[in-house]
């Protein structure tokens, strides 16, 4: 078997082999004649665009208009574009696999691989005016760039087709004929053009005005017939003359491959793909590890392990001999087999190597199975995408460079959603990076199909996606809105669980009410405010106010906002709502606002009226009383030259009493129906404050106190008038007497009262106040208690 494997190897120089193997038999066999077409293929096994070469005369078959056909790498047609625009100078693919068609007027038309027109950008006015004669598309740091050469021999550059910013490159003075050759060099962030004029070499930058010759003079060795030359890794150059293909290394040694029809060379990072009418082949340097295993007479551990595995399958004892040879290096051997399997395109070769690795693994007790498992998974994925139907002939090196993520993206672009999801699941990618993201892409694709019914699309999407984590319905809805499918967008946005994404989009789509409802549902008041302020600024005021009254929470928030920012609006709304109580409160606040000193009375009156309208009689009466009080207080101020205005009824009465204006106080008290209890308190407290003890005594005898006589004792004590306090003690309620005697420090009397009432609890309480100083009394109480308790 290994003999067969090395059959397509060709040595080139020392210890280097090149191999050429078929990837696909092209499905386009009968459709394409590579002789008279221009062909552009995307790297990483991307799609191939083919258009009739306008420089060749052939029999026109259907229409006069050129047709760009797009094929997969396996030659299946994906789409075609009937070209109606100007003359195509150059075709190429961007790094995101969009087709770039450079027209002679400097317009670059961008299509996706399904022939859907995406957009156009221009290479500038000068390019348009003078027409372009040549163009090149190159990979730049941040995507894909375009350089064009105009008929006035000036170069224009766009570094990234996603953000086309046209820059002119330095001019070469005295250029009267087209440059003999030029190419684009893109390194780091700088893009330069290397141009040859005759034997002069120029390096053109966009930062310079004029370019000057650089480097040594070259003698041009470009043969006329040598059509394309491509690097094949770093080891060799591949070139072809019509049907002869040469691989040339640095020493000038070469390998010669013959073809019976014209071929196209497609460079890749690790080899060159050769495209002919019938086959799609790959020429690459044989990877070192593959060489180590399969080279004839190899003594590498991997080679022995493979042999051991083969013998084992043949049930031969020689298996053991081979294993013994690599006993100490089994780890290396396994690794080599695993790695080599990755470089094979043929599944049977992969399987042979993987089997060897598995066999070797079983001899190493604690080997890390991770690389083995990973390779098996990777191979399954690679084989799946290499399938004819999918037609992405990726090598493992390319895949590692792209990453699985990008591979999935590429499958998504090809609308292989199902396969992408299966791969994501198989690779156990987190949903957010894997299946959910793919589903979201699928949904975005779905919404763009404008012919489908929107109800159905929305339902299908929701069915598939459900509330899958990581799916952004707002993204999908945005796509739909971008396609002009506003209604569908609105339907879809309904599925977005994150209100913070949902609401702004709804607002943008002009869905005022739904955005308000969603904002309210979210409970996020910040969102509600955003919607409210947006609506307020974009709606007639009256309509806005009518709208929000249907949403109590929104209205409350708006009112709260107005309270701080727009008082006038507040009154408007209360007016409109006939909310008289709130209006009254509004006026009340106004009447107390120090900024409004002139309209105090008027505001209070308005408040009263509003309370009347609200049938809040109590509040209205209180307002009225307040009005009266204020008036009366003003007259008092005039009379006594003291501050009265602003005092409460209670404090006014108190102040009058303190001024000894008992009559006035009585009058006021009667007018405002101050209850007896409170008035008595007022009298007692003010008389005590005035130290008018005789008057207090008199007052106590005017009639029976509605509040008892304890307050009399208390006020006297407050001012340390023990003797005065004694006057009222007899009138204190019986059950409080003990307490009050104690307050006065009259322990014996307290004891007597307690004994009289046969109250043991009270006696104990008295005793607790005795302390150490009244030892005798304490003892007496003990005796009394003993007496009382035994009697029972």
- Under rule CB under 8 A, residue 523 binds another protein: yes
Residue with Cβ nearer another protein (188 or 564): 564
Q: Binder to another protein among 249, 472, 487, 525 (CB under 8 A)?
A: 525
Residue with Cβ nearer another protein (76 or 650): 650
- Under rule CB under 8 A, residue 126 binds another protein: no
Residue with Cβ nearer another protein (486 or 581): 581
Instruction: Please give the Cα distance from 420 to 401 (Å, whole number).
Output: 18
Residue with Cβ nearer another protein (440 or 649): 649
* C-beta separation of 201 from 192 below 8 A: no
**Total residues at the site for another protein (CB under 8 A)?**
56
Residue with Cβ nearer another protein (445 or 681): 681
- Under rule CB under 8 A, residue 682 binds another protein: yes
Instruction: Please give the Cα distance from 61 to 345 (Å, whole number).
Output: 38
Instruction: Please give the Cα distance from 106 to 341 (Å, whole number).
Output: 47
* Helix axes 722-729 and 710-718, enclosed angle (nearest 10): 170
Instruction: Please give the Cα distance from 283 to 238 (Å, whole number).
Output: 9
Q: Binder to another protein among 213, 215, 510, 646 (CB under 8 A)?
A: 646
- Under rule CB under 8 A, residue 34 binds another protein: no
- Under rule CB under 8 A, residue 557 binds another protein: yes
- Under rule CB under 8 A, residue 765 binds another protein: no
Stretch that binds another protein, among 106-114, 132-140, 171-179, 622-630 (CB under 8 A): 622-630
Where do we find the tokens 């308005």?
606
Residues 408-437, mask of contacts with another protein (x by CB under 8 A): ----------------------xxx-----
Instruction: Please give the Cα distance from 431 to 441 (Å, whole number).
Output: 13
Stretch that binds another protein, among 129-137, 580-588, 747-755, 765-773 (CB under 8 A): 580-588
Q: Binder to another protein among 127, 438, 527, 766 (CB under 8 A)?
A: 527
Instruction: Please give the Cα distance from 14 to 18 (Å, whole number).
Output: 12
- Under rule CB under 8 A, residue 553 binds another protein: yes
Residue with Cβ nearer another protein (318 or 560): 560
* C-beta separation of 21 from 282 below 8 A: yes
Residue with Cβ nearer another protein (29 or 596): 596
Stretch that binds another protein, among 22-30, 109-117, 137-145, 673-681 (CB under 8 A): 673-681
Where do we find the tokens 């595995």?
309
Phi, psi torsion values for 16, nearest 5 degrees: -120, 135
Stretch that binds another protein, among 137-145, 160-168, 184-192, 529-537 (CB under 8 A): 529-537
Least Å from the CB of residue 54 to another protein: 53
Residue with Cβ nearer another protein (219 or 568): 568
- Under rule CB under 8 A, residue 585 binds another protein: yes
- Under rule CB under 8 A, residue 530 binds another protein: yes
> What DSSP line would sit under 762-788, residue for residue?
HHHHHHHHHTTTTHHHHHHHHHHHHHH
Least Å from the CB of residue 25 to another protein: 44
The DSSP code for 428 is T
- C-beta atoms surrounding 571 within 10 Å: 16
The DSSP code for 210 is B
Q: Rounded to an integer, what is the distance from CA 159 to the centroid of its chain?
A: 28
Q: In b/e form, how buried is each residue of 283-298, taking b as 16+ CB within 10 angstroms?
A: bbbbbebbbbbbbeeb
Stretch that binds another protein, among 64-72, 558-566, 727-735, 782-790 (CB under 8 A): 558-566
Contact partners, residue 583, CB within 8 Å, separation at least 6: 571, 574, 575, 610
Q: Binder to another protein among 321, 651, 735, 748 (CB under 8 A)?
A: 651
Residue with Cβ nearer another protein (274 or 665): 665
Give the three-class secondary structure for 789. helix
Least Å from the CB of residue 497 to another protein: 5
* Helix axes 760-770 and 734-743, enclosed angle (nearest 10): 0
Instruction: Please give the Cα distance from 463 to 716 (Å, whole number).
Output: 85
Stretch that binds another protein, among 288-296, 353-361, 454-462, 670-678 (CB under 8 A): 670-678
Tokens of 787: 């007496």
Residue with Cβ nearer another protein (455 or 643): 643
- Under rule CB under 8 A, residue 745 binds another protein: no
* C-beta separation of 153 from 168 below 8 A: no
- Under rule CB under 8 A, residue 681 binds another protein: yes
- Under rule CB under 8 A, residue 716 binds another protein: no
* C-beta separation of 213 from 197 below 8 A: no
Q: In b/e form, how buried is each residue of 73-83, taking b as 16+ CB within 10 angstroms?
A: bbbbebbebeb
- Under rule CB under 8 A, residue 609 binds another protein: no
| Selection from 355, 353, 331 nearest residue 342 by Cα | 353
Q: Binder to another protein among 21, 138, 254, 529 (CB under 8 A)?
A: 529
Residue with Cβ nearer another protein (213 or 469): 469
- C-beta atoms surrounding 373 within 10 Å: 11
Residue 458 burial class via C-beta count within 10 angstroms: exposed 0-12, middle 13-18, buried 19 and up: buried
Tokens of 172: 């070469």
Ramachandran area for residue 463 (φ above 0: left; ψ -120 to 50: alpha; else beta):
alpha
Where do we find the tokens 């013998």?
311
Least Å from the CB of residue 241 to another protein: 58
Stretch that binds another protein, among 331-339, 561-569, 761-769, 782-790 (CB under 8 A): 561-569
Where do we find the tokens 């997969």?
72
Contact partners, residue 456, CB within 8 Å, separation at least 6: none
- Under rule CB under 8 A, residue 526 binds another protein: yes
Q: Binder to another protein among 295, 589, 612, 667 (CB under 8 A)?
A: 589
Residue with Cβ nearer another protein (557 or 738): 557
- Under rule CB under 8 A, residue 556 binds another protein: yes
Stretch that binds another protein, among 36-44, 63-71, 147-155, 668-676 (CB under 8 A): 668-676
Residue with Cβ nearer another protein (363 or 529): 529
Q: Binder to another protein among 522, 569, 613, 780 (CB under 8 A)?
A: 522
Q: What residues make contact with another protein under the rule CB under 8 A?
A: 430-432, 467, 469-470, 497-499, 521-527, 529-530, 533, 552-553, 556-557, 560-561, 564-565, 581, 585, 588-589, 591-592, 618-619, 622, 625-626, 629, 646-651, 672, 674-675, 677-678, 680-682, 685, 707, 711
């Amino acid at each position: 078997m290994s003999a067969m494997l090395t059959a397509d190897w060709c040595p080139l120089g020392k210890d280097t082999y090149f191999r050429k193997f078929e990837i696909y038999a092209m499905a386009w066999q009968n459709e394409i004649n590579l002789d008279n077409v221009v062909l552009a293929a995307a790297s990483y096994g991307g799609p191939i665009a083919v258009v009739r070469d306008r420089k060749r005369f052939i029999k026109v078959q259907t229409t006069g208009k050129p047709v760009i056909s797009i094929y997969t790498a396996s030659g299946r047609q994906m789409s075609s574009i009937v070209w109606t625009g100007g003359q195509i100078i150059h075709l190429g693919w961007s790094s995101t696999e969009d087709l770039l068609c450079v027209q002679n007027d400097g317009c670059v038309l961008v299509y996706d691989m399904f022939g859907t027109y995406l957009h156009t950008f221009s290479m500038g006015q000068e390019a348009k005016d003078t027409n372009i004669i040549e163009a090149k598309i190159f990979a730049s740091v941040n995507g894909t760039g375009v350089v064009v050469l105009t008929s006035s021999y000036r170069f224009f550059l766009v570094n990234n087709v996603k953000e086309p910013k046209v820059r002119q490159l330095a001019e070469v003075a005295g250029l009267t004929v087209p440059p003999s050759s030029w190419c684009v060099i893109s390194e780091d962030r700088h893009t330069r053009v290397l141009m040859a004029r005759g034997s002069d070499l120029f390096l053109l930058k966009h930062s310079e005005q004029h370019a000057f010759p650089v480097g040594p003079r070259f003698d041009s060795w470009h043969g006329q017939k040598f059509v394309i030359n491509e690097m094949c890794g770093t080891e060799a150059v591949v070139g072809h003359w019509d049907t002869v293909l040469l691989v040339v290394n640095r020493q000038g040694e070469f390998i010669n491959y013959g073809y019976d029809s014209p071929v196209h060379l497609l460079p890749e990072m690790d080899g060159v793909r050769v495209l002919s009418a019938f086959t799609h082949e790959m020429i690459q340097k044989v990877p070192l590890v593959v060489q180590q295993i399969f080279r004839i007479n190899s003594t590498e551990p991997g080679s022995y392990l493979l042999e051991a595995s083969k013998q084992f399958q043949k049930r031969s004892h020689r298996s053991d001999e081979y294993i013994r040879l690599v006993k100490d290096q089994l780890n290396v051997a396994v690794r080599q087999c695993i790695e080599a399997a990755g470089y094979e395109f043929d599944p049977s070769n992969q399987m042979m190597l993987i089997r060897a690795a598995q066999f070797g693994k079983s001899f190493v007790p604690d080997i890390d199975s991770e690389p083995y498992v990973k390779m098996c998974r990777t191979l399954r994925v690679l084989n799946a995408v290499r399938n004819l139907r999918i037609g992405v002939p990726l090598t493992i090196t390319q895949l590692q460079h792209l990453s699985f993520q990008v591979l999935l993206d590429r499958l998504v672009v090809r609308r292989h959603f199902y396969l992408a999801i299966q791969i994501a699941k198989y690779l156990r990618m987190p949903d957010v990076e894997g299946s959910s993201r793919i589903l979201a892409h699928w949904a975005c694709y779905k919404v763009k199909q404008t012919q489908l019914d929107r109800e159905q699309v929305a339902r299908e999407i929701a069915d598939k996606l459900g509330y899958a984590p990581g799916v952004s319905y707002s993204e999908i809805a945005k796509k739909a809105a971008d396609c002009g499918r506003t209604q569908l967008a609105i339907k879809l946005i309904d599925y977005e669980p994150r209100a913070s994404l949902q609401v702004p989009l709804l607002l943008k789509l002009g869905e005022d009410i739904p955005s308000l409802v969603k904002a309210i549902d979210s409970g996020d008041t910040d969102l509600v405010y955003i919607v409210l302020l947006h609506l307020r600024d974009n709606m007639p005021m009256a309509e806005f106010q009518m709208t929000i009254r249907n949403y109590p929470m929104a209205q409350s928030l708006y009112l709260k906002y107005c309270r701080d920012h727009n008082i006038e609006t507040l009154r408007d709304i209360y007016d409109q709502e006939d909310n008289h109580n709130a209006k009254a409160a509004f006026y009340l606040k106004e009447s107390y606002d120090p900024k409004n000193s002139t309209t105090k009375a008027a505001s209070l009156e308005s408040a009263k009226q509003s309370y009347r309208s609200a049938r809040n009689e109590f509040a209205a009466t209180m307002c009225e009383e307040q009005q009266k009080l204020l008036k009366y207080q003003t007259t008092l101020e005039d009379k006594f030259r003291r501050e009265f205005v602003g005092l409460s009824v209670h404090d006014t009465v108190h102040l009058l009493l303190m001024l000894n204006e008992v009559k006035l106080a009585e009058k006021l008290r009667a007018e405002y129906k101050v209850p007896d209890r409170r008035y008595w308190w007022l009298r007692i407290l003010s008389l005590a404050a005035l130290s008018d003890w005789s008057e207090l005594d008199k007052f106590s005898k005017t009639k029976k106190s509605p509040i008892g006589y304890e307050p009399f004792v208390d006020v006297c004590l407050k001012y340390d008038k023990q003797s005065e306090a004694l006057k009222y003690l007899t009138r204190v309620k019986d059950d409080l007497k003990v307490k009050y005697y104690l307050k006065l420090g009259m322990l014996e009397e307290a004891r007597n009262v307690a004994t009289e009432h046969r109250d043991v609890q009270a006696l104990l309480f008295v005793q607790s106040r005795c302390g150490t100083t009244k030892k005798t009394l304490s003892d007496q109480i003990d005796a009394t208690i003993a007496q009382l308790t035994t009697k029972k």
